[in-house]
Amino acid sequence: MHLVIVSGTVFGTADLVADEAQSLCESAGLRVSRLRTLTLDALLALESEALLLCTSTTGMGELPEPLVPLFHEMRDRFPLLTARPFGVIALGDAAYGDTFCQAGEEFRELLLELQAREVIPMLRLDASETVTPETDAEPWLQQFIGALQG
Ligand SMILES: Cc1cc2nc3c(=O)[nH]c(=O)nc-3n(C[C@H](O)[C@H](O)[C@H](O)COP(=O)(O)O)c2cc1C
C-alpha cells in the first residue's frame, strides 16, 4: 500500500505530527511519500493508493497558507478520487469555538465530495489540551494503519 502524506502548517506542529505519521506508517510496512510540492499535479503524479492529510487551522477557521493553492485546485479541477482511502488529522484549538479544526473539516468535506473514502473518523488535536500532539496521534495512527491494511 502506497500512502501519500500531505501536511499544512503555520508554526510547524502539523509537520511534526506528519513526521510521526510517516515513521509509524513506514514501520508498519507502508510505502510512504510526502507531498513536498503542494500542487494537484504533484499529488496526482504520485499515484498513491491512499492519502493522509494533516492540517492546522489558522486565522478565523482558515487553511494554513501552504495548503490554500492545493485546496483551490482540487475544488476547481475536481479530480474524482473514487473509493481512494483517506484520513484527516486536524490540529486546532477549542478556544476558537465554532472554527475549531475548521481547515481539517473543509478538506475532509472536499475529499468526500471527490468520492474518496474516509477509513476512520477525523482526529482533532486540541492545542488547549495537549502539548504533545505527535504522541497523542499515535493510537489514531495505529487504527488508521489497521484500517488501510485490513
Ligand atoms: C493566529 C491563529 C489563529 C488560529 N485560528 C484557529 C482557528 O480558527 N481554529 C482552530 O481550531 N485553531 C486555531 N488556531 C490554533 C492552531 O490551529 C493550533 O495552535 C495548531 O496546533 C497550530 O498548528 P501549526 O503549528 O501546525 O500551525 C489558531 C492559531 C493562531 C496562532
* Ligand 1 touching residue 100 (CB < 6 A): yes
* Ligand 1 touching residue 61 (CB < 6 A): yes
Please report the pLDDT score of residue 150 as a whole number. 86
Please report the pLDDT score of residue 146 as a whole number. 98
15/10 Cα distance (integer angstroms): 9
Question: pLDDT of the chain along its 150 residues, tens only?
Answer: 999 999 999 999 999 999 999 999 999 999 999 999 999 999 999 999 999 999 999 999 999 999 999 999 999 999 999 999 999 999 999 999 999 999 999 999 999 999 999 999 999 999 999 999 999 999 999 999 999 998
CB 5 within 8 A of CB 18: yes
Please report the pLDDT score of residue 34 as a whole number. 97
Helical axes 68-77 vs 102-113, angle rounded to 10°: 30
Expressed in angstroms and rounded, the spacing between residue 93 Cα and the centre of ligand 1 is 6
* Ligand 1 touching residue 91 (CB < 6 A): yes
93/108 Cα distance (integer angstroms): 18
* Ligand 1 touching residue 48 (CB < 6 A): no
The residue contributing the CA closest to ligand 1 atom 8 is: 61
Set out the domains of the chain in order of their start, with CATH numbers: 2-140 (3.40.50.360)
Q: How many C-beta atoms lie closer than 10 Å to residue 58's C-beta?
A: 19
Q: Report phi then psi at 101, rounded to 5.
A: 55, 30
Please report the pLDDT score of residue 36 as a whole number. 92
CB 128 within 8 A of CB 96: no
Please report the pLDDT score of residue 127 as a whole number. 98
Please report the pLDDT score of residue 98 as a whole number. 98
130/59 Cα distance (integer angstroms): 20
